[in-house]
A and B are shown apart, each in its own frame.
Chain A
Amino acid sequence: MAVDASSESNKHGNTMASYQCRGSLATLLSRPSPFTNETGALPIGEFEPSDLSSLSKFKVLVVGAGGLGCEILKNLAMSGISNVHVIDLDSIDITNLNRQFLFRQKDVGGSKAEVAARFINERCPWMKVTPHHGKIQDKDSSFYKSFDCVISGLDNIEARRWLNATICSFVEIDEDGDPDPSTIIPIVDGGTEGFAGQARVILPRITSCFECSLDSFPPAKSFPLCTVAETPRIPEDCIAYAFMIQWPKEFPDKKLDTDSPHDMQWVYQRALERSQKYDIEGVTYTLTLGVVKNIIPAVASTNAIVSAACVNEAVKLLTFASQTLNTYMMYLGSAGVYQHTFVYEQKEDCPVCTATVRKMTVAKSTTLNELLQKLKDGDLRLNSPSATAATSGKTLYMQKPPFLEKATRPNLDKPLSELIQNGEEVTITDPMFPGTSVGLSVFFD
C-alpha cells in the first residue's frame, strides 16, 4: 500500500518526513535488548541502559592513522567516544589521498597522527584526540595500560605482533589460573588488501591472540637470487636485479630511498636496460615501484568496511549494548561478496597467550648460535632472541646492553651441551614479545 507523505513536527517546529524521524545511538544505549553482551558467546559485562554521557568515561587508543586509522577516528567521533589517542610514525604521502580522507594535498609531508587528530577535533568539537607522532615501541607499558580498548589499523606484521604481545602481557592470572577481567584490555584489529579485509576481536587470554594466527601471515615473498642474477625471465626479475644487486654495487654507501623519484627512476632505468638486453617485456615505472616497495593495493571502500566493523565491536565491548564478534570476520569482495565469520582458535602452544613450555630436540653439537638461528627461521619467527638457562638462571646470551652482549658473545659458538643439561629449560626473550618470555626445553638426540 502506498503511504501518503505523512509528516510530523519535530521539536523545532520544522516538518520532517516520517522516514527522517529515527532513533540514534542514544536509542540503542537506552533500551533493553534480548541480545546484550552477557547473552553472547563472549560475555564480559552486563548491559545497563544509559545515555550518551556514559561514553565520555572511556579512553581508546587507535594504533595507526592511515587508511584504517582515519576511518576509525571518524567512527569513534560518530560514536561519541571522545577521549581518544592516536599513534603513528608515518608522514602523509600523495598516494594516501585516495582513501585517507582526513588528509588533503596541502597536508602532504605532515605527520599523519597530528593532521588526523587536528581534523577530527575541528570537525567534531566534542572530540579530544591526542596525537603521538612516533613508534609504538617507544611508549612504555603505563601508556598502554591506561586505555579501555585498543583498536589497531596497522599495515605490518611486526608492529601487530609487538602490540599484541604488549597488551597480552598485562593480563594477570589468579590462583585458579583464570585471567583477572580487570586486567584484560580488548584489542580490535583490522587489515585490508585490495577488495579483501578482516576484522577480529582479541580478548587476551580468553580468545586467540594475533600471535596464535601468525602462520596465516606468511613471510614476504623473496626473490630467488640465482634466477635474478643468471636466468631472468619476467620483468620482476629485472627490477629485483636493479635494486638488490646493481644499486648496492653502484652506491655502496647510500641506502636506496624508495620514496625518492630520483632513486626510483634510476632503478627503473637499470631494470629497463636489463629487460631489453634479455628481450623481456613489461618493465614499467609503476611495476618497479610495486616490486621495490612491495605495494599492496588499497581502496577507500575496503578500509571503510573493516574500520567500521572494528569500531562497532569496540563500542559494543565498552557499553555491553550488544553481543561480540566471535572472533574473526573475513571479507572478500572481488567475486561477489563472501563474508565468513568464525572462531579463530587459540594456538595450543602460543608463545604469547599460553604458558606452554615448548620442546625442541637438537644434535648435541648444535651451538647456541645455531639454536637462536632456528628460533628466527622456525615457526616462532623471532627477531633478536636472548637466552637464559631457566633453572640455574645463568645468562647464555643477551642482545642488549652492549657490555652484556660482549660478555656473553663467546657462548654463541659453544655447543649447547657445554652450556645446559639435557632437557633443561631455556628462557627466551625477544624485543618482539615485550613483557613475555618463551620457555623452551632443549633435548639432545
Chain B
Amino acid sequence: MATDNKYDRQLRLWGANGQKKLSESCIVLVNATAVGTETLKNLCLPGVGKFHIIDDAKLSPSTSPQDPFSNFFVFRDQDSNGTPQDRAEIATKHLSELNPDVIGSFTSVDSLETADYESIFSSLAETGQNLLVIASDLPPSILKKISSICWDGIRSKPVPLVIVKSFGLIGSVRIQTPYHAIIESKPDNEKPDLRLAPTSMNASVFPELAALVEKTNLDQMDSKDHSHVPYVILLLKAMQLWRKSNEKDDDALPKTFAEKEEYRKELKSLARDMNMELNFIEADQNYYLAYTDLEIPFEVQELIDLAQENLYQKVEKKGDVDMFDVLLLALKKFMESHDGFPPLNGSIPDMTASTQGYIELQTIYKSKAESDVQEMKRIIAAIGDEYDADKTGVIPLVSDDDLNVFCKNIYNLRLIKTRSYCQEYDFEFGDDKDELLSDVAMSTFDPYDDPVHTPILWYIALKACDLFYDEHGHYPGQDDRDLALESDAKNVQKYIVEILSKIGLDENELVQSTLLSTEEEKDMAFAKEMTRYNNAEIHNIASVIGGVASQEAVKLITGKFIPMDGTYIFNGIVGVAGVIKL
C-alpha cells in the first residue's frame, strides 16, 4: 500500500475539510429497519463522528438467525441465552464494527409513537456535534412529530432531516432542510473565468493582462515561440485585429454570426500554420471565449439581490447570521464597485504554452485574484462596522480560508430551502402553489418509455398507502386472503383519486391512461401492486434507498455538492427513478 489513509478514495471527492465536517457530525437514526441501517452503514464507513439509534423493536427468543433476512445488521447473537434483545442494541453493535473511528450509541424506547425526540436530540446536540436525523420507514403520524422538531431546530439550530422508506419494490428519499448554503457545489464542467471580453473592451478591468497582450509581439517571434503563445493572448490579439480591419470601435465585440466568422478568420490569419500550431488550434476551439463572458447564474444573482435585505432582517431580529449571509453581501458590494464583475477566480486551464509563458499568465491571474480577495476582506470588515458597531458578535467572523474558497466559487454558490415534510404531507402550499403544481403537471408531459413507470405515478401510489395507514392503522395487504387484498386495493385506489384531485391531476392525460385506467389489464394495477407488497422490506430496495440517502446526507453534512430538493422515488420494477418537487 502506498498510502496509509483509509479515506484516500473519498478525500479525492470532498477533501480534508469535508472529512472534518463528517467527523464532527452525529447521525441519529429513528427506527433501525433495513433502509435505515443501510443508510447508516454508508455513513459509518466514510467516518461520521457518532451515530445514535432510537428504536422500539425487539427480537424474540425464538427468532432464527435468518428470520429477519432483509436487515444485514440485525440478527440474533448465538450467545444471547434466549432473552429478547433490543433491535437498537443489536444494530448499534454491528454498525459500530464497520469503523473504529465511529462511536455508536442507542436509546431503546417503548414506542416510537410516544418517544420524547426533542429531549433525545437536545442531549445529543450538547456534545457539540452537528446533528442529522434519518427517519426510516415511519408512518406519517411519527414523521410529522420528528419533522416539526427538526424544522424548528434544536437550540434554534435547524436539524437536516432525511426521510427514507422502502415499500416492496418502491422506495423513496426526502430531504428536509429550511436553509442549506453551498459554496463548493463542485460542478462537473467548470467554465474558466478568463475575463477576455471585458479586458478587450476596457483595459482597466484587468490591466496586467492587457499589458501582457501589448508586450507580446507575434511577428518577431521564432517559430517555436510563436507556436507556444497561450491561446488567451491569441484571442485578445485577434480581437484587436478584427476591430482594426473592420473599422469597429475599441469596445466592439462580434455579435452576429457573420461577425463571429470574421473574427475567427482574423484569428486564423495570425497563425503561421493552422494545422501544426497547437496553440492556434486550441484558440480556434475556444474562439467564443473572446466575446462571451461568464455570466452569473440566475440562482446566484437571486442570492446577491436579496443579500442586503436578508442580512438586515437577520440582524434586526437578532437571528442567526450565517457566514454565507455576510459573504453574499460583501460580494454584492464588491460587484457594485467593480462594474458588476465578481472577484476573479484566479485559476486558468492548461493550455499549450512554454513553461515560462504559462507561469507568467498564471501569475497574472493569481495576483489579480489575490488582490480581489484583499478587497473583499476590507468590505467584510466594513460590513462588521456597519451592522455590528458594538462588536456584539452578531456578524460572524470569516476566516481567510473560507473567504478564499468563496471567491473561487462565485459561480457555484447555491442555497437550498426545501419544503417541510408536514407541508408536503398535508398538501399545504404558499405563494409557490402554482409553480409547484405546474412543475408536477410538466413531469407528466415527459413520460418514461413505458408510461406506466413514470416516477410521479408511483410517488402518488406510495403516498396513497400512507393515507391508508392513517385511516386503518396498518399498511395495505396485511391480510393474505383474496377478499381482504381486493378490499385494501380498492381503498388504495380511493386515496389515489383523492390525491390526484388535490394536486389537480385528475383530468391529466397520462394519469387517465395509467392510474385511472379501467382497461382490464391496467384497472387498479398500481393499487393492486402496492397492496401485494404489504409494505414488504425488500433488501435491495432498502439498499438502493440507503445509498441515495447517504449520498444526500454526505452533501448536507459537508456543505459540498448540491443536495436534491424534493422526493426521490425509486421504482424497482424497472429501475426508473425521478425527483418530485412537492
Contact = CB atoms under 8 A, between A and B. Distances in A.
Interface string B456-471: 0000000000000111
B185 interface: yes
A33 B532 contact: yes
Interface in B133-179: 137-139, 141-142, 168-169
B311 interface: no
B387 to A, nearest CB: 33
Contacts of A199: 575
Contact of B10 (A1, A75, A227, A297): A297
Given A23-B534, A258-B2, A301-B551, A341 B576 contact: yes
B68 to A, nearest CB: 9
Interface stretch (B286-294, B490-498, B540-548): B540-548
A280 B360 CA distance: 11
Q: DSSP class of B's interface residues: helix, strand, loop or mixed?
A: loop
Interface stretch (A121-129, A163-171, A402-410): A121-129
Range of interface residues on B (Cβ < 8 Å)? 35 or more
A437 to B, nearest CB: 34
Interface in B536-582: 536-544, 546-548, 550-552, 554, 561-565, 568, 572-579
Contacts of A419: none
B114 interface: yes
B201 interface: no
B12 interface: yes
Given A125-B66, A231-B354, A304 B42 contact: yes
A27 B1 contact: no
Contacts of A258: 2
B577 A339 contact: yes
Interface stretch (A14-22, A375-383, A388-396): A14-22
Interface in A76-91: 77-80
Nearest to A194: B13
Interface string A1-15: 111111100101110
B228 interface: yes
Given A300-B41, A337-B548, A94 B3 contact: yes
Contacts of A125: 65-66
A195 B558 CA distance: 14
Interface stretch (A176-184, A205-213, A308-316): A308-316
A323 B574 contact: yes
Contacts of B573: 35, 40, 322-323
Contact of A95 (B1, B537, B544, B562): B1
Interface string B35-58: 000100110011100000000111
Interface string A88-119: 00000111011101001100100000000000
A388 to B, nearest CB: 40
Contact of A304 (B69, B528, B547): B547
Interface residues of A, number: 108
A240 to B, nearest CB: 12
B474 A233 contact: no
Interface of A: 1-7, 10, 12-14, 16-25, 27-28, 31-35, 39-41, 71, 74-75, 77-80, 93-95, 97-99, 101, 104-105, 108, 123-126, 194-195, 199, 227, 231-234, 258-261, 263-264, 278-280, 285-286, 289-290, 293, 295-309, 311-313, 315, 322-326, 329, 333-337, 339, 341-343
Given A19-B137, A312-B169, 19 more contacts: A5-B111, A14-B60, A22-B537, A27-B532, A28-B533, A41-B450, A75-B539, A94-B6, A98-B47, A99-B10, A124-B66, A233-B351, A259-B1, A286-B8, A301-B550, A304-B42, A304-B544, A305-B547, A313-B575
6 contacts: A19-B535, A41-B449, A301-B42, A308-B547, A333-B551, A337-B552
Interface of B: 1-13, 31, 34, 38, 41-42, 45-47, 56-58, 60-63, 65-66, 69-72, 75, 84, 97-100, 111-114, 137-139, 141-142, 168-169, 185-188, 228, 350-355, 358-359, 448-450, 469-471, 473-475, 477-478, 485, 521-522, 525, 528-529, 532-544, 546-548, 550-552, 554, 561-565, 568, 572-579
